[in-house]
Structure formats: C-alpha cells, structure tokens
Structure 1
C-alpha cells in the first residue's frame, strides 16, 4: 500500500526493483527500493493524518570514479542486510551502501575492480601495516598496532595463502630488524618451510606436535615479557620504545581441531594448542604479539570462539557456503566472491578488495634483498639450525649483533 506506482502483479513490482530499466535514473530506482522494502519516514499531513513517505534526499556528490547519493535515515529504521542486498542487486554497476551519522549513503562506481593486481604496485607505508588489497576507493591497509589479531578464511586456491605471504614479505621488507615470525604451517610445512632460514623467521612448525612446542615457548616468553612490562611500568608496547613485534601465523588452523576419532592424548594436544591461541589473543596483543589464524573452512570448532572474539579484524576469501561466511565474518557474502584474490575485509566496516598477487619467485627474490646482517633483539638465546630464538624483550640500549651469511 506504500507504493506510488500501479503494477498489475507482485512479479512486475519485483522486476522493477531488482531488474530496473536501463534508462531509469539511479535516484528513481532507489525510491522504488525504499518503498518496496519499507525504508520510509512517517509524517503528518495538513489534516493531521499520519502518512509515510520517502526518506529525505540530501544531495549528490561526484568524484573521479563514482557518484554518491545521501539520504536521512528515518527514525526507527536502520540499514539492514536485506536493504543493502536489494540496492546492490538492483544495479549493473558496483555499488557501496553504508550508514554514517544518521545518513544513508549509496555510492555508484563507474569502474570494476580488476581481477588481478601485482604486488609490485602496492604503495609503501610506514608502521606495522600490511596491504589488505585494493578497493574501489583505493588501497586498504591493516594496522597491527591498532588491531593486533586477525582471522583469515578461504577455500582452496582462493587467495588465503597468497595473502599470508604478502604479510610475511611486506613486513620483512620494511621491518627486517624488528620483526619475528613463528610460522605454524599445517600443510606439513610445504608453503612456509622454505622460508625457515630467513633471519625474520624464528621457527616453522609443520604439525600439531611441533605447534605445541612453539606455543609452549611462546607462553614462556609471554610470561617473561609481562614481568618485564610490570617492572618498567609499561601497559602497551605501542607506548614504549620497543620496536620488536612477534607474529604467529597459523595456516590451516583447522588441523588443530580435536576430532572424535582421536585418542585422548591427541585430543589433549589439540585442545592445548587451541587454548594457547586463545591466550595469545586475550593477553598478548599489548605485549607485541600478533596472531593471524587462517583456515579453509571456518566452523565453531576450527575457529575457537575466544580467538574470533579477540581478533577484531576478519578477512574472507570465497567460501563454499553462507554458513561458513557467517562464521568467518558474521555475515553472508563470501560465498559469492567472483574470483581468486577477491576478499571481504571486516573490522567495524566491510570492504571488498582485490588482494595483490605475489608469486613464490618474486617473494624469494624480494626476501633475499632484505636479508639483514645485524639484529637488535636484546639478549639473544641460542642459535640453532640458523634460526634465532630470544626470550627477552629488547630495550633501546641493546646492541647484540649476530652475523648472517
């Protein structure tokens, strides 16, 4: 009863909303969608009768690659998932829908995201940031000093491991002396084992037993670091002179999920690993630890609740089902991503990006260039198998030097 247009059937109305005529203006199509979805404001006419009308149109903004329409959000309404979906699916151009400050914004782009972007095109940024990818609004970066932990999900060959390699390469190129990596590569070490001798990589674990050993060492380091922070009155590494950051990257984390067919000892091992992951995300972010939890198919078992709750950054590549998408990023959409490397990055907001492609050959070439000759991690522990282990947080006065060939 809210429509101002007369249609002979519901099917005709639906067609007008979701498959509008090409010569219909964006503004008119949006008006139809608002009426069809009940996104309306209430007002009283001259006779005091309560009426419903379209949300107030506030204007149009144009830029180089988009036109944006803004509306006031009627009292009692919100930008719902169904409204966003109705708007996005009604147009044959890329559309971004978002709400901010009591206003609804609908942005229409005049270009599509490319299906492939070279890592060589990634801009240089300072700080402990990594490129998430390129969106229609430009390059998007994640700052690990602001949001320490991240979950990553994606089906086989959809871009998850390439993204992890971007993280390793970008940080190593820019922070070679201040970064440590613990790689838990549960593909048997096939993806990251080749980088075990890089000076930034402390250890590579290739199965659950090795992962448990790494977590045990990390727990010890966390306790020592926490005592160091207490002694020096530190509460967050960001507000200290300490430059070192420790990244724990777990690829195929579902391999650490206890299964019914396992014996008790194996289950306990898996549960211990999951508890350690949760402990890192709960308390170690302020100490300089950053955990990236990656899995092919996220479930409530393979993505522990404590890890998900404490990892405020979420990245999803294409997933097989809506359920998997909701587990990964708390909403659907990842099941519809069109090509490898296309992802949804979510913190408070949601961004669709194309992750830059980095080949193994280019990665190896770049990391050779960043092999450093000195490290300043403070009092260093033993050096074994060309890997450096340290149990102490560095200070400004540390000048320990180890030569690498």
Structure 2
C-alpha cells in the first residue's frame, strides 16, 4: 500500500523542522518514537539507504504486527520536503524528495509520446503519461477553478496535434457550452452540445456508431479496433456530468433525456473501450448518485483536482487526499498506481496557436450537433 503526501497535515505536527538541526534519519526515528510506532519494544530498523540527486529512500524492517499508519504522513511536515511512503513485504520505504513540485509547468515541457498517450503531469519522479489504448475511459473530478476544464482542453489539444486526421470529439458541455464553444468549428469536433435534449441526441448517435463498428469487427473476426485496423479514435467528453443526473426539479421531458444519457454513458463504459471509443467523465461534485457504478467500475483511470471534502475524494479516487491539494492544477492521478502531479498548463491563446489551423469553418451561431446530419431525432 502506498500513501502520497501532498502537503498540509494540520492535525498532527510534532516538530518545526526548520528550527530542528539534525539529519533526516534521526528525525524519522524521533517520529517513530513520538507516534509509538512499534510493537512492544521492537521498532522499525533501518536496513538500507539509497540516494540519488532527486531523492533519498530509507528502507526499514518492520516488526510483525506493525503496518503502515496514516499518522506517518506527518513526516512531510517534519522533514519539510515531499515524502512518499510505501509498505511491502514487511518493509517500510520512506522516499524523501529534495525539491517540491513547482506550482506550474508549461505545456511545452511535456514531450509527445505519440499515438494515444497524453501527458498527465509532472510528478516527483518525472512526467506521467496516460495511454488511452491501454485504459480507454477516465473520470476527471475537481471543484470549479481548480484545473479540471483546463486539463480537458489540454489533452484535447495534444490529441489533435498528434492525430489530426484520426481523432474525433463529441463534447457534452453542460455548462452552457461556454468552456468548449470556441472549438466548435475544428474539423476534429463533430458535436458540441449544452443541454439535455441535444446531449441525448449525440449520445444516441454515438451508440449507433458503436454498434456499427461492432458489427464490422464481427464480420472480419477482429476483437478490437486495433486488430480491425480502425484508425480513428472517438472521444466523448462530458464536462459536468452531474447535470445529466435525473432530478425531481427537472421537467418531465428533461428528466427523460437525462435517463437516456445515463443509459448510453453506461453502455459506452461497458462496451465501447476496445472498439475505439473513449469516454472522459468530468464532474465538479462526485457523489455515488452522479457516478454510475458501471461507469466507475470501467473508468479505472482517475484524475482528481481539489475537491471540497474527503467524502468526495473517496467517491472520486476511493481514498481521501484530493481535499488537501493546495494549488490550481495539482492533482492525484490514479490507476493501479497513484501519483501526485502538477498538470500541464496551457493558455487559451496557445491552444489556438497550436490547433487553430484546423478551424476550417467560419464561426456561426449554429449548434454544432447539427454538423452531423445523421443525428438521431428524438
């Protein structure tokens, strides 16, 4: 089990590290003693120290019966540096980094890995990437203004730059289309909608396309998009998916559209990943009601920016921590492993400089859902 310590443990600060002049090994021993981190008279014993220019790892033999303890998170305050703690095979590993993450990293420092990989951000151990071919669906959560939408626009830009003729976007911007409307005429954007009715139309259209692609793969005895030589990948971006949760306050018509949306999103999560469809489910307010169990079970990639409470963090990434993130753009990225990252920052101006050449239609006031003439009529 591994604990990422992002900063800010208010409940338990033992020493003011800046005024305590001793080495890290002695400080760690003092923390063990003050936390009573031992079994009877047996305490962890240091067996190995491994040092690089970036970090130092202290490895301890731990007495049987002693496991990792959340209280050890106080080490970051004590050492006044980032710390990552892991516990495997009765060994406690305390990795102490020399420097803290910067509060911002510009997009241009993140080299492209091509294909369907995107940069997630800079971690203490270097740049972290996500490969949508390996893990097709992703949940992105975060309170307003903390970086969720900037992150979505960043990876959209990255995918267009690397696959200009092989990527399509279907964007459900449930904040009135304001966040993505300026990209509506990019040739890679097939639809941008902002209400329940249009969202249901677009999702039903996507579902129909999925079924056609499945039929094609069956006809050639292929198991997935790669094996079937399907070149295009289709990304369904839902920004503020909580708006698609049926509510009593909705009109009967909108509530029915919301149910349709929920049904298709669950279908995409269950069925479409290996067919070439990738869903990014974004929400400001992750709750059990908003996150359909099928979506959560199949979207095992999670990016959590600052959330309001540990309960929301628990729903988003199955553990507390996102409520303690201190800076805009700082996030926890979790799949099988877990990383604290500072996500790439890209301005609206730079986005347009990079992908504006694909803006092949004069701006209009039309809803871009109308660009697909075969959208299902409700």
- Tell me the TM-score normalized by structure 2: 0.87
Determine which structure has more spread, i.e. the larger CA radius of gyration: 1
RMSD: 2.5
- The answer for the alignment partner of 2:365 in structure 1 is none
2-structure distance, mates of 1:387, 1:197: 12
| Aligned residue number for residue 330 of structure 1 | 318
Question: 1:398 aligns to what?
Answer: none
Distance 1:287 1:84 in 2: 44
Deviation at 1:102, TM superposition (A): 5.1
Separation in 2, partners of 1:297, 1:385? 30
The SS at the match of 1:324 is helix
> Which residue does the alignment assign to 1:26?
24
Q: Secondary structure at the match of 2:235?
A: strand
**Matching residue of 2:243:** 255
- Note the alpha carbon deviations across 1:342-386, whole angstroms, 9 max, x for none: 1111112221111111111111111024569xxxxxxxxxx9966
Alpha-carbon distance in structure 1 between the residues aligned to 2:358 and 2:251: 44
> Is 1:71 the equivalent of 2:60?
yes
Alignment match, 1:154? 142
Alignment of 1:3-402 (within 5 A): 17=14, 19=16, 22-37=20-35, 39-40=37-38, 52-80=41-69, 82-100=70-88, 103-369=91-357
1:74 shift after superposition: 4.2
CA change 1:272–1:74 in 2 (3 A) is farther
SS at match of 1:286: helix
The alpha-carbon deviation at position 389 of structure 1 amounts to 7.2
Answer whether contact 1:197 1:386 (CA < 8 A) is retained: no
Is the contact made by 1:253 and 1:294 (CA closer than 8 Å) also made in structure 2?
A: yes
Q: Which sections of structure 2, spanning at least 5 residues, go unmatched?
A: 1-11, 361-367
* Distance (Å, rounded) in 2 between the aligned partners of 1:228 and 1:326: 40
Alpha carbons 1:130, 1:167 under 8 Å: kept: yes
Report the CA distance between 1:198 and its aligned residue: 0.9
Unaligned runs of 5+ in 1: 1-13, 42-50, 373-382, 392-405
Q: Deviations over 1:190-226 (max 9, x none)?
A: 1112212111111111111111001111111111111
Helix, strand or coil: the match of 2:344?
Answer: coil
Quick one: distance in 2 between partners of 1:389 and 1:58? 66
* Matched position secondary structure for 1:54: coil
CA contact (8 A) 2:141 2:283 kept: yes
Structure 1 residues 84 and 280, CA gap change in structure 2 (3 angstroms): farther
Mapped contact 1:202–1:388 kept (Cα < 8 A):
no
Higher relative contact order, structure no. (Cα contacts within 8 Å, ≥ 6 residues apart): 2
Matched position secondary structure for 1:248: strand
- SS of 1:230's partner is helix
CA contact (8 A) 1:98 1:104 kept: yes
CA drift at 1:318: 0.9
- SS in structure 1 of the partner of residue 339 of structure 2: strand
1:305 CA displacement: 2.0
Query: Which range moves more in the overlay, 52-61 or 186-195?
Result: 52-61
CA shift for structure 1 position 332: 1.3
